[in-house]
Amino acid sequence: LQYPHATVEPLLSGISLRCSDWYNRLGAGSLLTGDPAFNYQEHELNERLKRLYPAVNEEETPLPRSWSPKDKYSYIGLSQNNLRVHYKGHGKNHKDAASVRATHPIPAACGIYYFEVKIVSKGRDGYMGIGLSAQGDNMNRLPGWDKHSYGYHGDDGHSFCSSGTGQPYGPTFTTGDVIGCCVNLINNTCFYTKNGHSLGNKLSALSFCPCLSFQPNLYPTVGLQTPGEIVDANFGQQPFVFDIEDYMSEWRAKIHSMIARFPIGERLGDWQAVLQNMVSSYLVHHGYCATAMTFARATETMIQEDQTSIKNRQRIQKLVLAGRVGEAIDATQQLYPGLLEHDPNLLFMLKCRQFVEMVNGTDSEVRCFSARSPKSQDSYPGSPNLSPRHGATNAHLHNTGADSPTCSNGVTPTNKNKSHNKYTGVSSASASSSPSSSPSSVNYSESNSTDSTKSQPHSATSNQETSDSEMEIEAEHYSNGVTESSTRIMNGTYKHQEILQADDNSVGNGVADDSCSSRQLCGGNQAATERMIQFGRELQALSEQLCRQYGKNATHKKMLQDAFSLLAYSDPWNCPVGQQLDPMQREAICSALNSAILESQNLPKQPPLMLALGQATECVQLMAKVRSGSCSFARVDNFLH
Amino acid sequence: MKNAVIGNNRQKANLIVLGAVPRLLYLLQQSSSSLELRTECAVVLGSLSMGTENNIKSLVDCHIIPALLQGLLCSDLIFIEACLRCLRTIFISPVTPVQLLYTDPTVIPHLMSLLSRSQHTQEYITQIFAHCCKTPEHQTVLFNHGAIQNIAPLLISPSYKVRMQALKCFSVLAYENAQVSMTLVNVLVDGEQLSQVFVRMMQRDKPIEMQLTAAKCLTYMCRAGAIRTDDNCIVLKTLPCLVRMCSKERLLEERVEGAETLAYLMEPDIELQRIASVTDHLVSMLADYFKYPSSVSAITDIKRLDHDLKHAHELRQAAFKLYASLGSNDEDIRKKITETENMMDRIVSGLSESSIKVRLAAVRCLHSLSRSVQQLRTSFHDHAVWKPLMKLLQNAPDEVLVMASSTLCNLLLEFSPSKEPILESGVIELLCSLTQSDSPALRVNGIWALMNMAFQADQKVKVEIVQALGTEQLFRLLSDPDTNVLMKTLGLLRNLLSTRPHIDQIMSSHGKQIMQAVTLILEGEHSIEVKEQTLCILANIADGNTAKELIMTNDDMLQKIKYYMGHSNVKLQLAATFCISNLIWNEEDGSQERQDKLREMGFVDILHKLTQASDPNLCDRAKTAMQQYLA
C-alpha cells in the first residue's frame, strides 16, 4: 500500500481516503493487546503523527515512536514502552557517557520534525544531552560530540555540533524541564525549545546552532552520563508543550506564498496558452462537447478533435456509465471497427462488466425483459459521471480493498471449488431470490410506468446524433425531474453550472439511495436471469479462448471469479464482493475504453491536465526521496478543491 | 471634476484654490439636491482629501467635517459610505485635530449605529475610531457608547480590512485602561473568549500586521491587570509572538513596534523577563538594531539608505527600551546584556545622540544596568559612563534628567569606582540645584544622590554638601510634601551625622536648627518610617561627644524619647532605646551624671520593662543599656 501511488496515474479525491485507509491498518497492526490505556495512547499517537506529518508514507519511512532497545549503549536502560531512558553506568567521567537512538530516522517528508524530552531527574550531575545523530555514530558518547551529531546539553546550556567543544547556546536545564528538538528539513536547521519556548537558531555574528548542511538520516537521540539521570521521550504520545503546529503553519504559509509568487515574468502569455489548452483538452477528453466549444470560443483556441468524434465518445461513455455495457460494446464496434478486436483485454473487461451490470439489472440485455426499478435507473446519474474521478484511482483503491483480509475471505471458497460449484451457486442464488422478488417487481413496473415512459424516449434517441443537451436533461432530470424540459430550452450557458451543482448533490444522494433500496437480481425477472446465465457461459468460453490464445492471465481470472461470485449470495449488493455493483465501478472501465478510443485516433489517452497532476504528485514524492523537506508543505492535494 | 482630480495632486490643489470646496459642500448639504448629486459631491471631496496634507488642511478649514457628519444622518447607504470614506481619509491624517470627532456628542452614538449597515461603514468607522482614540477621555467616550459590544463581532468579519481595523480599535481602547481591559476579558465573540480570538490572530500564518496588533491588545490587557502575567496566552503566545516581531526578517517598523510592546509587556514581571531573555536569542538579536544604516545599503541602494536612516533612531531607542526592560531585575540578564557586542559603547554613544528619544532610552537602559553591583564595579567604570552621563545632566529636559539623575544615584554608591571622578567633576552644585526643582522625582533623585554621596564620606565632602545645599534648603526639604524627599533628606542627615568628630562638628555649627527640625518631625503627623529615621538621627547625635549635651539639656526631647520607648511599634522602641543607650554609655566623660539624670526621669524602669520584651533585638538592646548602670 503506497501513498500516493508511484505511477503517473493522477489522484484526485482518492488521496485522503487511501491515506486513512493504510493508517487504520497500520494502527490495527501495531496495537498491543490487553492494555486499553495504552491502546488509547497509541491511537492518540497515530492521530497526532498523521496530523503533523501527512506527507510521510510510513510504509517506506516509518516515523520514530520510541527508543530503540537495540541501538543503544549498554549503560542505557529503557522502560515504559521504551519511552523512558535511565542511566545505569558508573558515571565517573565522559568515557562513561551513553546514548540511545530512536527506532527510526526522521523522514524528510516530515518537512519539520519535532520531539520532546522531559527531564524526570537530573541525577548526580545532570550531564544530559538531547539532539540528533546518524546511524553508526558511537553510542558511548553524548549527542553532539561526533560527526553528524548534534546536541543541547543540560549542564552548561551549550550546543554541540559535531564537536567536543560546545558553543554557548541557551539556558541550562534540569529536573522538571521539558526540552524539545525541532528539525527543519526545509532550510536544514535545527533549534531547541525549553518548556515550550523556542531558544532560536537565527543568529548573525554568533552562530551557535547547527546548520544541518547535507545529512545522512538523522535519528532523535538522547545521551546521559551520570547515575540517576532519567528522561521521558514524547514522540507525539502527548500533546507537545511547544506549539509546533503553529511553527509548521508559518512554513506552510511561506511555501504556499512562494509557489503563489513564483515569477513567470514575460512568459505570462505562454502560460496562459498552456493553461487554456489544459482546460480545453480536459473537457474534450471527457466529452463535454458544448462546454469545450464555448470555452474554445471564449478563449479563441482550437479544438483538435472533430466534434462528431467527441460526441461519439461521449455517447459510449454515457452508455457505460449508465450500466448499459452491451450497447456500449455494440456502439464501439460500430463506430470504431477493429478497436475491440485488437484489444481483447479491454473487450474481456467490458464483457465482465456487462455481466456485473446484468446482475445489477441495468444492462439492456436484461432490462428489456422487464421495466426497470427506478432505483437502478437512478443509479446512472447517481454516479458522479459529470465530474469524472479518474478511473485508475478508483480501480486502485478497490483493488487494495480486495487485498485486505476481510475481502479475500469471501472469495477464497469459490476460488477452490470454482469448476464444480459455480453453477449450482448461481442456480441457488437465483432460486432463492426470484420467487420472492417477482411480486414486488410487478408493483414497481406499474407504479413507475410514467417514469419509465419518460425515460424511454431518451434511450430511443440515443442511437442517433445525440446532442449535448441530452446529457444535461439527464442530469436535471435527476436533480429535479419535474422542471426538466423547461430549463433545457431556456438556460443557455448557465445550464452547465446547474449541472455541476446538481451533480454535487447527486453523489451523496446516489449513495444513500443504494444503501436503502431493496434490489433484486437481474431486476427480478426470470427470463433475464436465464439470459444472464447464458451470458455467463459465453463469458467463461471467451475466457478459455483467450487463455488458449494468449496464455493464462491472472487478472482476467480474478475478474471473472469476482463477477461470478456475486451469484453466490442471496443479496449480491450486501456481500463481500458486492462493491462491484456500485455504479462508481463503471468509471474505471469507462475511462479505459475512452482512452483506448482516443489512442486509436492518435490522440493522447490521458488529458494533459491529469498528466501534469500526476507528474506534480510524483515530483513531490521524489523530493521526499532526495530529502527536500519543503515537499511536505507543497502537496498537490493542497491545491485541489 | 471627479475624473480630473483622480490621482492628480496638482489638479486637486488647483480646484481647492479656485474655491471648489465651499461649492461642493453647499451642494452636498442642500437637501433639494438629488441624492446622486450629493453622493458625487462626497466622492469628489473624498478624492480631494486623498491629496497632500495641505489639501486636507484646506478642507478642514472649510468646515468639511461637520458637513460630512451631518450627511451621515441621511438614510441612503451609498451616500453615507461616500461621506464616511472622506471622513476616514481626513481623520487618519496627522494634520486633522482628532478633537473634531468629539465636539458634537451625538456623533459617536450615530457612528456606532451605522456599524451594522455594511462592511464599508464598518471598515471606515473602525478606522476612524482607531485613529481618533488618543486620550483616556476618548477611550471613555467610546467605551460608554458601547464600542466594545459593537466592535467585538467585527473581529470575525469575512472582510480582512474590517477585522484588522476592529483589532486596532481594541488595541487603542485597551491601552493603559483598566476599565476597558477588564470588560474585554469577559467578552464572547461567537461563543469564544476575546483573548482566544486574539490568540488565534497571533498564529504564525496570519499576516504580520495582525499578529502584532493582536499581541498589542493582549499586552495592554495584561498590563492593565485584566490578564495574569503567568497566563498561557501571555507566556506561551504573546511573548513569543513579540520576540518574533523583533527578528531580522521583519520590517523595520514592525521590529520597532515589536520591541517597544515587548518592553512594555514584561517591564513589571521578572519571570517574563527571564523567559524573554532566553527566547530566540533575543539579547543578541537586538544587537542588530544598531546596525542601521548598514554599510551595504549605503553603497547599493540610495532608497534603502534613506529608509534605513529614517528608522535608525527608532530602532536604537526601541532596542535600548527593551534592554532596559529585560535587565531591570535579573542580575544574570544584565550580565548577558553588557556582554553583548559593543553594548556599553553603544549606550555611551546613545547618551549623546541628537535624538532625545534615543538619549532617553539609552539612559533608561543605563539605569536598568546600574542596579547591578557587579556592573557598577566593572563595565561602568571601564567605559567611564559617568562622563556622558554628567554631560547629559546639563540642560536636559526633565524626563531625561529624572532617569539620568536616578542613574547617578547608583553611580554614587560607596562601592562604585565612579564615585571619585564624579565628585571631582563638581556634581554637588548640580545635585543641590535638582533639590530645588518643581518635580518631586527630581528632588528625590537630587537628595538621594547627595545621601549616597555622604555615606561614609570624608569630612571635606560632608562640609561641601552642607555648604552647597545650605541649611535653609535642608530644612525646607525636611518639610517637603513628598515623603520620599523627606526620607532621603533624613537619610542624608543621618549619613552626615556619622563618626563622632563629624557629629560634633556639624552639631556645633547647625545643632540648634537640627534639634528644631527633629522636634518638629517627631511632633508632626508622619509615617513610622519617617519617625524611625528621625530617632536614628537622634541616636547618632547622642553618640557625639559634645553633641550629647544638646539632648541632655533638652528635657522636652528626653520626654519624647521616653514616649517612643513605650510606643507600640517595635522599630520606634528600638531606635529610642538606641538613643538612650548612647547617652548612658559608660566609657565617656560625664556618663555618671547622665545616668543619674535619666534614672531620675524614670528611664531605668522603662529599660527594665523592655528587658522582658518579646522582640529579641529590643530585649538585647535594653539589657545592654541596663548593664551600663550595673557596671
Shortest CA distance to A339 belongs to which of A307, A309, A367?
A309
**What are the residue boundaries of the structural domains of chain A, listed by start?**
38-252, 271-370+520-633
Are A203 and B205 an interchain contact pair (Cβ–Cβ within 8 Å)? no
Give yes or no for A247 touching B (CB within 8 A): yes
For A365-411, write each residue's pLDDT tens digit: 777 665 544 444 444 443 334 444 443 333 333 333 333 333 333 33
Mind giving me the DSSP string for B422-471? HHHTTHHHHHHHHTT-S-HHHHHHHHHHHHHHHTT--HHHHHHHHHHH-H
Helix (H, G, I), strand (E, B) or coil at A221: strand
For B479-496, write each residue's pLDDT tens digit: 888 888 889 998 998 888
Q: Give B279's contacts in chain A (Cβ within 8 Å).
A: 197-200
B206: closest CA of chain A, how far (Å): 8
Going across the sheet that includes A129-134, the strands are: A67-72, A98-102, A218-224, A129-134, A149-153, A158-161, A167-168
Say which of B237, B278, B284 has its CB closest to residue A203.
B284
Which contiguous run of DSSP H or E holds residue A112? strand A112-122
Query: How many other C-beta atoms lie within 10 A of the C-beta of residue B53?
Result: 11
The pLDDT of residue A14 is 33
Give yes or no for A168 touching B (CB within 8 A): no
Q: Is B615 exposed, middle or buried (0-12, 13-18, 19+ CB in 10 A)?
A: middle
Residue for cell digits 478633537? B99
Are B284 and A250 an interchain contact pair (Cβ–Cβ within 8 Å)? no
The pLDDT of residue B226 is 95
Region B151-174: mean pLDDT is 96
CA A329 to chain centre: 30
The pLDDT of residue A214 is 53
Quick one: three-class SS letters along A385-417? Answer: CCCCCCHHHHHHHHHHHHHCHHHHHHHHHHHHC
Question: What type of residue is A532?
Answer: M
| Contact in structure between B541 and B514 (CB atoms under 8 Å) | yes
Helix (H, G, I), strand (E, B) or coil at A337: coil
Question: What type of residue is B369?
Answer: L
Give yes or no for A95 touching B (CB within 8 A): no
Kindly list the distances between the CA atom of residue B290 and the CA atoms of A49, B256, B359, B400, B403, in Å, as whole numbers in the listed order.
43, 12, 14, 21, 22
Are B284 and A205 an interchain contact pair (Cβ–Cβ within 8 Å)? yes
The pLDDT of residue A602 is 83
B281: closest CA of chain A, how far (Å): 6
| Contact in structure between B410 and B370 (CB atoms under 8 Å) | yes
C-alpha cell at B426: 563638581
For residues A152 and A172, what is the distance between their CA atoms, to the nearest angstrom? Answer: 9
Could you give phi then psi for residue A4, rounded to 5 degrees?
A: -70, 160
Shortest CA distance to A381 belongs to which of A455, A443, A279, A487?
A455
The pLDDT of residue A436 is 38
For residues B540 and B313, what is the distance between their CA atoms, to the nearest angstrom? Answer: 51
Which contiguous run of DSSP H or E holds residue A132? strand A129-134
| Contact in structure between A71 and A139 (CB atoms under 8 Å) | yes
Give yes or no for A250 touching B (CB within 8 A): yes
The pLDDT of residue B296 is 64
What is the count of residue pairs from A and B with beta carbons less than 8 Å apart? 51
Region A95-118: mean pLDDT is 94
For B74-133, write each residue's pLDDT tens digit: 999 999 999 999 999 999 999 999 999 999 999 999 999 999 999 999 999 999 999 999
pLDDT at A632 over 60: yes
By DSSP bridging, strand A129-134 and strand A112-122 are unpaired
For residues B402 and B413, what is the distance between their CA atoms, to the nearest angstrom? Answer: 17
| Contact in structure between B311 and B292 (CB atoms under 8 Å) | yes
Better pLDDT: A211 or A584: A584
Give yes or no for A187 touching B (CB within 8 A): no
Are B240 and A198 an interchain contact pair (Cβ–Cβ within 8 Å)? yes
pLDDT band at A476 (very low <50, low <70, confident <90, very high): very low
Region A171-198: mean pLDDT is 93
**Which DSSP letter does residue A211 get?**
B
Residue for cell digits 520584651? B613
For residues A515 and A496, what is the distance between their CA atoms, to the nearest angstrom? Answer: 29
The pLDDT of residue A63 is 95
Return all residues near A443 (Cβ < 8 A) that are at least 6 apart.
none
Kindly list the distances between the CA atom of residue B272 and the CA atoms of A198, B194, B334, in Å, as whole numbers in the listed order.
14, 22, 15
The pLDDT of residue B481 is 85
**Which DSSP letter does residue A484 get?**
H
- What are the residues of chain B with a beta carbon less than 8 Å away from any beta carbon of chain A? 203-205, 236-237, 240, 247-249, 275, 278-282, 284-285, 287-288, 341
**CA-nearest residue of chain B to A170?**
B278
**CA-nearest residue of chain A to B247?**
A202
User: B253-285: b or e for each residue (b if 16 or more CB lie within 10 Å)?
Assistant: ebbbbbbbbbbbbbbebeebbbbbbbbbbbbbb
For A221-259, write each residue's pLDDT tens digit: 999 999 999 999 999 999 999 999 999 999 999 999 988
Which contiguous run of DSSP H or E holds residue A158? strand A158-161
Kindly list the distances between the CA atom of residue A420 and the CA atoms of A424, A545, A547, A561, in Å, as whole numbers in the listed order.
8, 20, 19, 13
The pLDDT of residue A36 is 63
Kindly list the distances between the CA atom of residue B508 and the CA atoms of B450, B465, B513, B550, B590, in Å, as whole numbers in the listed order.
21, 16, 11, 10, 19
Asked if omega into A572 is within 30° of 0 (cis), the reply is: no
Q: What is the mean pLDDT of chain B?
A: 89
Shortest CA distance to A363 belongs to which of A317, A312, A314, A322?
A322
For B538-581, write each residue's pLDDT tens digit: 888 888 878 888 888 888 888 888 888 888 888 888 888 888 88
What ipTM was predicted for this assembly? 0.81
Give yes or no for A194 touching B (CB within 8 A): yes
Return all residues near A155 (Cβ < 8 A) that are at least 6 apart.
A125, A126, A127, A128, A172
CA end-to-end distance (rounded Å), chain B: 108
Q: Give A171's contacts in chain B (Cβ within 8 Å).
A: 278
| Contact in structure between A563 and A575 (CB atoms under 8 Å) | no
For residues B464 and B474, what is the distance between their CA atoms, to the nearest angstrom? Answer: 13
For residues B218 and B232, what is the distance between their CA atoms, to the nearest angstrom? Answer: 11
For residues B318 and B35, what is the distance between their CA atoms, to the nearest angstrom? Answer: 51
B276: closest CA of chain A, how far (Å): 9
**Domain A38-252 indexed as CATH 2.40.30.20:** no
Are B236 and A194 an interchain contact pair (Cβ–Cβ within 8 Å)? no
Total count of residues recorded for chain A? 641
CA B185 to chain centre: 25
C-alpha cell at B574: 528600638
Helix (H, G, I), strand (E, B) or coil at A218: strand
Region A469-492: mean pLDDT is 37
The pLDDT of residue A519 is 67
Q: Is B113 exposed, middle or buried (0-12, 13-18, 19+ CB in 10 A)?
A: middle
Task: Give strand pairing partners of A159.
Answer: A152, A167
Shortest CA distance to B507 belongs to which of B468, B477, B562, B551?
B551
C-alpha cell at A637: 492535494
pLDDT band at A444 (very low <50, low <70, confident <90, very high): very low
A236: closest CA of chain B, how far (Å): 19
Q: With pLDDT > 90 as the criterion, what percentage of chain A qualifies?
A: 23
For B9-43, write each residue's pLDDT tens digit: 999 999 999 999 999 999 999 888 899 999 999 99
By DSSP bridging, strand A84-87 and strand A76-79 are antiparallel
Q: What is the mean pLDDT of chain A?
A: 73
CA A61 to chain centre: 18
Q: With pLDDT > 70 as the criterion, what percentage of chain B qualifies?
A: 99
Q: With pLDDT > 90 as the criterion, what percentage of chain B qualifies?
A: 49
Could you give phi then psi for residue A185, rounded to 5 degrees?
A: -85, 5
Are B240 and A197 an interchain contact pair (Cβ–Cβ within 8 Å)? yes
Question: What type of residue is B601?
Answer: M
For residues A229 and A174, what is the distance between their CA atoms, to the nearest angstrom? Answer: 10
For residues B135 and A466, what is the distance between their CA atoms, to the nearest angstrom? Answer: 75
The pLDDT of residue A369 is 66
Q: Is A492 exposed, middle or buried (0-12, 13-18, 19+ CB in 10 A)?
A: exposed
Say which of B205, B281, B288 has its CB closest to residue A250.
B205
Q: Which domains does chain B have, with CATH numbers?
A: 497-630 (1.25.10.10)
The pLDDT of residue A104 is 95
For residues A462 and A465, what is the distance between their CA atoms, to the nearest angstrom? Answer: 7
Question: What type of residue is B222?
Answer: C
**Which DSSP letter does residue B247 get?**
S
Say which of A170, A205, A206 has its CB closest to residue B278.
A170
Better pLDDT: A266 or B355: B355
The whole-model pTM stands at 0.74
Lowest mean pLDDT among B143-147, B257-261, B305-309: B305-309
**CA-nearest residue of chain A to B199?**
A246
| Contact in structure between B427 and B390 (CB atoms under 8 Å) | yes
Region A468-472: mean pLDDT is 40
The pLDDT of residue B373 is 83
Say which of B275, B279, B341 has its CB closest to residue A205.
B341
Residue for cell digits 480599535? B169
For A23-66, write each residue's pLDDT tens digit: 333 333 344 445 566 678 788 899 999 999 988 889 889 999 99
For residues B498 and B544, what is the distance between their CA atoms, to the nearest angstrom? Answer: 9
Going across the sheet that includes A84-87, the strands are: A76-79, A84-87, A229-234, A112-122, A178-184, A189-194, A197-198
The pLDDT of residue A11 is 32
The pLDDT of residue A265 is 76
Q: Give B242's contacts in chain A (Cβ within 8 Å).
A: none
The pLDDT of residue A388 is 43
